Each structure stands twice: as structure tokens, then as C-alpha cells.
Amino acid sequence: EAGVAQSPRYKIIEKRQSVAFWCNPISGHATLYWYQQILGQGPKLLIQFQNNGVVDDSQLPKDRFSAERLKGVDSTLKIQPAKLEDSAVYLCASSLDKGQYYEQYFGPGTRLTVT
């Protein structure tokens, strides 16, 4: 089966610019996650969707980050305006359903560099 797809793979922008990332989860997966992985650290959950509704966005910097999952399939994550500290790899993951039991499958990530 096809895995989680993400694009672009790499992005370089200047601070105060905006950027958007796209994620296509595994077909049939109801739950979608966006993680931020700063160099030298483990991934940190930014937002979790169940179908097209938000389950958890407690660690999403809502003054600059936004995410949507229209129609409960693809998702986009946007940063506007970007700051230097937003430089990181943004990982998308999906699972069949939410909860402890369900394995999360990760995409290859988008590496963002803010200069």
C-alpha cells in the first residue's frame, strides 16, 4: 500500500514569509497528525485530526500556525509569518483510528529552513 506522502521535501524561505506544507495520508486512515522535529530533538505533536475535526492542537502556535483537513483526507499546514525558530522538519503521520492501540505511519517529512 502507498505510504504517507508529503510535499515539498525541502523549502527555504526568509523570515516573515509564509509557507505551506501538504500531506496525503494512507487511504482509509481517519487520524492525521502533524509533528515538528527540531534538530537534535524528538518529534513534537502540533495538531491531531480525526477525520476533518481537530482532536488536539494544544501545542500549535496559533498566532502563526494553522492547519486544515478538508473532506477528512489531505491536510495542509501553514506558517505565516515564519520565524527563524520555525526551522525544523515537519512530519505528517496517519493512523487507522485514534487511541493507544493504533500504529502511526510517518511520511518522509518537509525540511524547512528559515533564513
Partner 1 sequence: AQSVTQLGSHVSVSEGALVLLRCNYSSSVPPYLFWYVQYPNQGLQLLLKYTSAATLVKGINGFEAEFKKSETSFHLTKPSAHMSDAAEYFCAVNGGSNYKLTFGKGTLLTVNP
Q: Is residue 90 a contact partner of residue 8, using CB atoms and an 8 Å limit?
A: no
- Measured torsion, CA atoms of residues 30, 31, 32, 35, in degrees rounded to the nearest 10: -170
Q: Which residue, 79 or 109, is less far from partner 1 as judged by CB?
A: 109
SS3 call for 67: strand
Question: CA-to-CA distance for 15 and 111, rounded, in angstroms?
Answer: 15
Question: CA-to-CA distance for 85 and 33, rounded, in angstroms?
Answer: 21
CB of 2 to partner 1, least distance (A): 14
Q: Which of 27, 41, 63, 71 binds partner 1 (CB under 8 A)?
A: 41
String marking each residue 1-40 x if it binds partner 1 according to CB under 8 A: ---x----x-----------------------x------x
Task: Give the binding site for partner 1 (CB under 8 A).
Answer: 4, 9, 33, 40-45, 48, 56, 91, 93, 98-101, 103-109, 111
